[in-house]
A and B are shown apart, each in its own frame.
Chain A
Amino acid sequence: MTFTIDYLALAPELVIVGTLLVVFTLDMVLTRPKKFWIATAAVAGTALAAIPLVILGVQGETRSMFDGSYVVDEFALVLKGLFIVAAYLVLLMSHHYIESERYYQGEYYFLLLASVLGSLVMASSRDLIILFIGLELTTAPLFLLTGWRKGDAKSNEASLKYFILGVLSTAILLYGMSFLYGLTGEITFSGLAEATAGRGDEPAMVMAILFVIVGFGFKIAAVPFHFWAPDTYEGAPTPITAYLSVNSKIAGFVALLLMLYIALPGVSEVWAPALWILAALSMTVGNLSALRQTNIVRLLAYSSVAQAGFMLVPFAAAAVVGADLEEAFAATVVYLAIYAVMNLGAFAVVIAGARKTRSGELSAWAGLAQVDSRLGVLVAVFFFSLAGIPPLAGWFAKFAMFRSVMIAGGTTTVVLAVIAAVNAVIALYYYAKVVKTVWVDDPTGEFVEDVEAAPAVSLRLALWVSLALTVAIGFFPALVTFVGDASRVIAVGG
């Protein structure tokens, strides 16, 4: 047993830890007019954390620590990069939003960075304890951030609902994990993979795996465990909603995929049907509910439930027919990366638009393009990208998903592919409805037209970055295929 610490491998996490300590200290020292330095420090620190990631990526070697419980391989690096880029965009969106509403700034950035730290830890975790710590560090600060607007009853309620269901899901997940440990005596993923192989017919094993899947089902907001998502998304401050629907959801996905792909591949006959049902239900229920929504944030909430269904498709399809999981794993990671970019863009547009409409109701958005055509173009780009229309990034995510399903082959997968295809069409309807409302419908009310309503510099930067990525990936999918290829280089640890 060696317990040497590889500081370069831990550097991204250490930079984030340093940044959040700086943010915390600055908050106590600075007076109110100077509080903007806190946001600047947070943004700079997050950008700084990308530097060791690039160095590690260029070196390209797999580093393993603590008896293989903590592994920095290409898969972990790619996901950490994704988490940091997404966090960077969320910080840019938050800056003006938090400042103009006069909320506590220091604690906001502190908690947000703590959550980012959790997701970085999770991408490297290769045993149950670190996975659990990473998952909780990601979600616990978000309970507080959801309720950030303390004076607003909706925000209070959203955070309580998120808290109760978040903790409940943790308890269920942990109970499943404690059974896995009790049955095998292993906590590392590599040990679990050996010890569980071929034991899928034991009732206790089946129960343990189902508990784990239910626990993660809540975290990724898959139907039927999604009911907290729309309420929480609507009540939370909008930048936090963006963070919830991107970072926190991807973190949940990564944890689920790590468990299933590395720790439990030997018992795929148990979890494959469960995943198949989750995928089919999430797509269908998510999309059908989204059709009825009149509030744009709730619409995006149900859309992200449906997108979670699409993300589950490759894995569910490949596992049901017993095909090689590697292809499905790569397709899912590509989908996650593209989803992160376009969904953050959609939320940035919602924040920018809400400054003019002063409302999240879709009816208030009617005719927005007539007063601000640039914003109208952005709405069209991000919502059509979410629908999967070429040449915007979303098409390649859908393409990668369907391709991996076709490679898997088999009747059950074709059924799932048909369900996914039908849902892609339903989704187009409500995404297009938003674009139609903004471009074609006549304005129903007055728009706010003053300097205050113009998007702040940081928000504009977030919009530009996500716009550039969405369009570039759509034309040159090779930009993200490396994400999928890198995820093939995954070290099991141990």
Chain B
Amino acid sequence: MIVSAGYYMALAAALFVIGALGMLLRRNVLVMFMCIELMLNAVNLTLISAGRALNDLNGQVAVFFILVVAAAEVVVGLAIIVAIFRRRSTASIDELSELRG
């Protein structure tokens, strides 16, 4: 059985929606991180399957760049969380409410 690119796109869309919902609904910062990773990986999957379907390398090369940038961003994010943990031991975003938008 040949799995067409459309199925991969649908899977990517599902991953993206799960990630987006997680960002909106979950309150733990670490879980929100994972949701962001899920969204970025949905992007990667879309790019790879589109590149495969179009028989074009650009999409697959783009994925490398996104992977590296995502890794760098996780480092930055974890550093910020560590800085917050040192002051107060909580990972809930609701407790961080000194600034009001």
Among B42, B53, B76, B77, point to the contact of A175 (Cβ < 8 A): B42
Instruction: Indicate if A160 sits at the interface (CB-CB under 8 A).
Output: yes
Indicate with 1 or 0, residue by residue over B82-100, a CB within 8 angstroms of chain A CB atoms: 0110111000010011111
Q: Which residues of B contact A144 (CB under 8 A)?
A: 76, 79-80
Among A143, A181, A228, point to the contact of B76 (Cβ < 8 A): A143
Q: Helix, strand, loop or mixed for chain B's interface?
A: helix
Indicate with 1 or 0, residue by residue over B55-94, a CB within 8 angstroms of chain A CB atoms: 0101101100110010011001101110110111000010
**Residue pair A160, B84 in contact (C-beta under 8 Å):** yes
**Residue pair B101, A168 in contact (C-beta under 8 Å):** no
Q: Contacts A154-B98, A168-B23 hold; do A178 and B80 have CB atoms under 8 A apart?
A: no
Q: Contacts A133-B69, A175-B42, A185-B56 hold; do A156 and B99 have CB atoms under 8 A apart?
A: no
**Nearest B residue to A127, CB-CB:** B58
> How many residues on chain B are close to A (CB under 8 Å)?
45
The interface centre, meaning the residue of B49, B62, B80, B97 with most chain A CB atoms within 10 A of its CB, is B80
Q: Please give me the 9 A-B residue pairs with the lowest Cβ-Cβ distance, nearest first.
A: A182-B50, A171-B39, A231-B99, A178-B46, A185-B54, A174-B43, A157-B96, A227-B101, A178-B47
**Residue pair B65, A167 in contact (C-beta under 8 Å):** no
Q: Which residues of A contact B46 (CB under 8 A)?
A: 175, 178-179, 182
Q: Which residues of B contact A151 (CB under 8 A)?
A: 87
Q: Which residues of B contact A239 (CB under 8 A)?
A: none
Q: Which residues of B contact A181 (CB under 8 A)?
A: 47, 50-51, 58-59, 62
Indicate with 1 or 0, residue by residue over A141-183, a CB within 8 angstroms of chain B CB atoms: 0011001001101101111110110011011101101110110
A interface residues with partner B (beta carbon < 8 Å):
128-129, 132-133, 136, 140, 143-144, 147, 150-151, 153-154, 156-161, 163-164, 167-168, 170-172, 174-175, 177-179, 181-182, 185, 187, 227-228, 230-231, 234-235
Among B54, B65, B93, B99, point to the contact of A234 (Cβ < 8 A): B99
Complex-state Cα separation, A164 to B46, whole angstroms: 22
Known interface pairs A154-B99, A228-B101; 7 further A-B residue pairs with C-beta atoms within 8 A, sorted by A's residue number = A167-B73, A168-B39, A171-B36, A178-B50, A178-B62, A181-B58, A185-B56
B interface residues with partner A (beta carbon < 8 Å):
9, 16, 19, 23, 29, 32, 36, 39-40, 42-43, 46-47, 49-51, 53-54, 56, 58-59, 61-62, 65-66, 69, 72-73, 76-77, 79-81, 83-84, 86-88, 93, 96-101
Complex-state Cα separation, A235 to B99, whole angstroms: 8
Query: 6 A-B Cβ contacts within 8 A?
Result: A132-B62, A144-B79, A156-B80, A156-B83, A163-B77, A174-B43
**Nearest B residue to A188, CB-CB:** B58
Q: Which residues of A contact B50 (CB under 8 A)?
A: 178, 181-182, 185
**Nearest A residue to B64, CB-CB:** A129
Among B51, B79, B101, point to the contact of A230 (Cβ < 8 A): B101
Among A163, A170, A231, point to the contact of B101 (Cβ < 8 A): A231
**Residue pair A171, B76 in contact (C-beta under 8 Å):** no
Complex-state Cα separation, A174 to B73, whole angstroms: 14
**Nearest A residue to B5, CB-CB:** A182
Q: Which residues of A contact B88 (CB under 8 A)?
A: 153
Q: Which residues of B contact A154 (CB under 8 A)?
A: 98-99
Min CB–CB distance B9 → chain A (angstroms): 7
Q: Which residues of B contact A167 (CB under 8 A)?
A: 36, 73, 77
